[in-house]
Amino acid sequence: MSGNKTAPTGASVEDFLQAVEPERKSVEAQELNRLFCEVTGYQPQMWGPSIIGYGRYHYRYATGREGEFLATGFAPRRARHSIYIMPGYQDYSAILARLGKHRLGKSCLYVNKLADVDLDVLGELIRAGLKDLDAIWPVQPG
């Protein structure tokens, strides 16, 4: 069904989190995992080799392309955390103005270190993204 390169793997999220380098990123990734679990109510699942996803949705574009993808999640990268808020084309500028130091991609928020952002505001952003996504494509538990 899904032609996505990024798909659930069944790998252990806990093992992945423990192996993140450097150690500071591992500690932060574990903190992000706690936040995402609390905010979403979903259990984490590995998507591909390095993305931790929470929930999923099925999409079908007007072109006929369809598949499954994670509803929200993050990837702890060496330089910065990549945080996935779907759908990426929504305007979250009011929330982002209160978040703290970050950079934006299409559906991705880049944060160098968690101390740079307000985690309560990040939780608000995650909730807003899930609500907006669910209004387009229903979000299901992992």
Each of the 142 residues of the chain gets a pLDDT tens digit; together they read 446 788 999 999 999 999 999 999 999 999 999 999 999 999 999 999 999 999 999 998 899 888 999 999 999 998 899 999 987 768 899 999 999 999 998 779 999 999 999 999 999 999 999 999 999 999 999 7
pLDDT at position 3 is 64
Residue 116 lies in a domain: yes
Query: Of all helices (H) and strands (E), which one includes residue 81?
Result: strand 81-85
Residue 128 lies in a domain: yes
Give the total number of structural domains in the chain.
Answer: 1
- The amino acid sitting at 115 is A
Residue 4 lies in a domain: no
Query: Of all helices (H) and strands (E), which one includes residue 30?
Result: helix 23-40
pLDDT at position 5 is 80
CB distance 90 to 53 below 8 Å: no
Query: Of all helices (H) and strands (E), which one includes residue 18?
Result: helix 13-19
- Within the chain, what is the greatest distance between any pair of CA atoms? 44
Residue 47 lies in a domain: yes
Q: Give CA–CA dist 74/69, Å, rounded.
A: 13
Supply the range of the domain harboring residue 126.
13-140
Residue 3 lies in a domain: no
Residue with the two structure tokens 């995402």: 36
Residue 6 lies in a domain: no
pLDDT at position 80 is 94
pLDDT at position 65 is 87
pLDDT at position 105 is 83
Residue 72 lies in a domain: yes
Spacing of C-alpha 26 from chain mean position: 16
CB distance 74 to 81 below 8 Å: yes
pTM: 0.93
Residue 2 lies in a domain: no
Q: Give CA–CA dist 106/26, Å, rounded.
A: 25
Two tokens, residue 126: 């995650």
Whether omega before 141 lies within 30 degrees of 0, making that bond cis, reads no
The CATH number of the domain holding residue 113 is: 3.90.1150
